[in-house]
Structure 1
């Protein structure tokens, strides 16, 4: 789960609409999220519009450390009726009885409304446990004041990184959490390797193809990032104008621009002998098991909110324009009104593979991250680190 905590860690901690204290019994229908500040502002406006004229209003909380809070709240019958997160929790939360099957409550048809990938992401074991509202991935960003045009190949990107990389002068070639599997997935999966295969229910990080991707990462990417791998240490490097490139997601674009960086977005660069293959995600409004015994008005409010937000044109277009959210509603996936940012993210999404939602995937992230850190710190070869991580992962499953 750590890689999702990194994504979430930049958001503010203010509550939009008071809905009760965390850990206490809450009244009414409650939504939890961990959006960034700019995303919060738009969400607040959208919820206010949705609530107009409703007797049962939707209450909203911005929740820090949402992973831990959900783990504590839902088993005790507290917490939200709906929350926002990527689709890869569906299998785990189904297995833990955290999510509610809303198949009989929906008034929209998933397959007619959303892309195939988005509709599939909301389903698990024959049920519908959320509704999709956007796709996301990380992509290559560049500072237009330092880079004239986006690199088309990794070789071109490395040439520019080499030109600017000067740690003694507080300049670096790239801002990117160097050992976070989600952020560097485009490189380690470039030669056909995969973190996990849902069909075989096994990890493949010890395969030659994956190890070759780690070697690429070691040789062509890691030499140009700051030595502190922490997300909070990497982001300011690009935000302060001290790197020509960043690999990050749509949640950071607005903040970079507000800070004065003229950010350009482009797809991941071509890799000689391989294909950049990033992990992609579908953002869902999850339905929690708090709805199972809830009053009908609360069920209607949670479901109607998810339907409204995922199909409302103003919400879809403003999320795309302001935050780079990639629409998954069939009527808007090819819209000319979405802008260059969304086009860049959408191009990278087309290169990628969807994160597995299988519950076993939860045991993959941290051992892989630890193994990558060992390689990053010259404590192990890629082969040694990935074999050790694979052994740890399979041991956890047992």
Structure 2
């Protein structure tokens, strides 16, 4: 789960999925003391699915893999892994790999994984779990944001951004409590598709540098100004942006698979559609690749624990039952090449899969951290609130980010 998704869900009730709050503190005594362990921060429904598959995996095994559900996985990992009391594996979006590798939290399994990554998984998924020539986990699903529409207000989803703007114009009357769009407008993950539409990047992977000053990026930011920002409510927070669509007062939302059931539970028949086409470019959202991380507990672990962890990750990432359950029950887009185009995925996943195909994985460079995102998004806020022009705000944000890197 990406930082944005996890933070967005925490503490928000009503239209969002609730997190399991009851952590199992016994997990802090994990690692070798309690056999082979995995930690997770899954929701209640995700945990039920995991338990089912864990039972299947453990059948007939002498060394059973134990699961611990925690309410603050990241916080627990920071304490437990350096002390040698962490889990052997845990699931999270791939964008923590660079950070955790730099902190010696992870185990490089490049010589241990039996799977042909490039031959088994999509190109983006295979690349997402590798950093500096190491392999630090195995991918099992992907997710990103896409367009959703209210069929009571929109007959057909727009094929182009221009068509989308025309429809938003018809419905956008803030004085009457109706808006054109529900979307956190200054949160990088949610608006990355627009910002990167013309070849610009929030982070320049090739040069390992900030990418927000380029002309292509500024063009994307101007697209965001003209197509998204004009049609959202003033409250830019995730929680503040959900009610317009959830209450039936906006024709569109831009959100991810984790939010679909919440919208539908609120009474709106949220219908997923691909992101629309844009003239002269292509909407390119950031994607998160869900990964079973290999932790440094594997370095020197007993053979049974090592083998169990590797076998679990490989089994989970390639099992048809697991892949299809994650898709149909939790909206995860398959990254295994044999299942990416399956007719059994369901309409929601098929639509999100189209947006994933348009996207690019979140960067794993450890310097792209919380301070990076806070500085960048503060720059977006300044432009959103007319406190600075696009070029000025992005140049200032880039300089501040680089000053921290120096």
Same fold (TM over 0.5): yes
Alpha-carbon displacement from aligned partner over 1:195-240 (angstroms, at most 9, x marks no partner)? 1122212112011221121122122211222222111222343233
Which of 375, 393, 399 is residue 385 of structure 1 equivalent to? 393
Structure 2 residue aligned with 1:180: 187
Other structure's SS at 1:190 match: coil
Structure 2 residue aligned with 1:52: 59
Structure 2 residue aligned with 1:231: 238
Structure 1 residue aligned with 2:14: none
Report the RMSD for the aligned CA atoms in angstroms: 2.3
Q: Does 1:376 align with 2:377?
A: no
Alpha-carbon displacement from aligned partner over 1:62-81 (angstroms, at most 9, x marks no partner)? 33343333233322223322
Please list, as runs of the form range in 1=range in 2, the aligned pairs for 1:255-266 lying within 5 A after superposition: 255-266=262-273
Q: Distance in 2 between matches of 1:349 and 1:218?
A: 23
Unaligned runs of 5+ in 2: 11-16
Structure 1 residue aligned with 2:49: 42
Question: Please, which moves more after superposition, 133-142 or 73-82?
Answer: 73-82
Q: Distance in 2 between matches of 1:235 and 1:32?
A: 30
Q: Distance in 1 between matches of 2:334 and 2:168?
A: 32
Kept after mapping to 2: 8 A contact 1:6/1:231: no
Alpha-carbon displacement from aligned partner over 1:353-373 (angstroms, at most 9, x marks no partner)? 222222232253221111111
Other structure's SS at 2:113 match: coil
Structure 2 residue aligned with 1:6: 7
Q: Distance in 2 between matches of 1:48 and 1:172?
A: 47
Structure 1 residue aligned with 2:105: 98
| Alpha-carbon spacing, 1:297–1:197, altered in 2? closer, same or farther (3 Å) | same
Other structure's SS at 2:293 match: strand
| Alpha-carbon spacing, 1:146–1:360, altered in 2? closer, same or farther (3 Å) | same
Query: Which runs of 4 or more aligned residues in structure 1 lie more than 6 Å from their structure 2 counterparts after TM superposition?
Result: 23-26
Other structure's SS at 1:135 match: strand
Q: Distance in 1 between matches of 2:331 and 2:199?
A: 28
Q: By how many angstroms is 1:309 displaced?
A: 1.2
Which of 252, 271, 286 is residue 245 of structure 1 equivalent to? 252
| Alpha-carbon spacing, 1:321–1:336, altered in 2? closer, same or farther (3 Å) | same
| Alpha-carbon spacing, 1:225–1:62, altered in 2? closer, same or farther (3 Å) | farther
| Alpha-carbon spacing, 1:167–1:360, altered in 2? closer, same or farther (3 Å) | same
Question: Please, which moves more after superposition, 190-199 or 103-112?
Answer: 103-112
Unaligned runs of 5+ in 1: none
Kept after mapping to 1: 8 A contact 2:27/2:39: no
Which of 308, 311, 315 is residue 308 of structure 1 equivalent to? 315
Alpha-carbon displacement from aligned partner over 1:2-53 (angstroms, at most 9, x marks no partner)? 535435535412458x571558876233222333443333223222322333
Alpha-carbon displacement from aligned partner over 1:300-334 (angstroms, at most 9, x marks no partner)? 22222211211111111111112221111121122
Q: Distance in 2 between matches of 1:311 and 1:174?
A: 38
Kept after mapping to 2: 8 A contact 1:8/1:34: no
Other structure's SS at 2:368 match: helix
Which of 144, 158, 167 is residue 160 of structure 1 equivalent to? 167
Structure 2 residue aligned with 1:119: 126
Other structure's SS at 1:55 match: coil
Kept after mapping to 2: 8 A contact 1:196/1:356: yes
Number of matched pairs:
397
Structure 1 residue aligned with 2:78: 71
Kept after mapping to 2: 8 A contact 1:129/1:287: yes
Please list, as runs of the form range in 1=range in 2, the aligned pairs for 1:80-229 lying within 5 A after superposition: 80-229=87-236
Q: Distance in 2 between matches of 1:183 and 1:359?
A: 21
Kept after mapping to 2: 8 A contact 1:30/1:60: yes
Structure 1 residue aligned with 2:26: 20
Q: What TM-score, normalized to structure 2?
A: 0.90
Q: Distance in 1 between matches of 2:308 and 2:247?
A: 43
Please list, as runs of the form range in 1=range in 2, the aligned pairs for 1:239-388 lying within 5 A after superposition: 239-362=246-369, 364-388=372-396
Kept after mapping to 1: 8 A contact 2:196/2:284: yes
Q: Distance in 1 between matches of 2:226 and 2:29?
A: 47
Q: Distance in 1 between matches of 2:22 and 2:63?
A: 19
Kept after mapping to 1: 8 A contact 2:25/2:70: no
Q: Distance in 2 between matches of 1:291 and 1:80?
A: 9
Other structure's SS at 1:359 match: coil
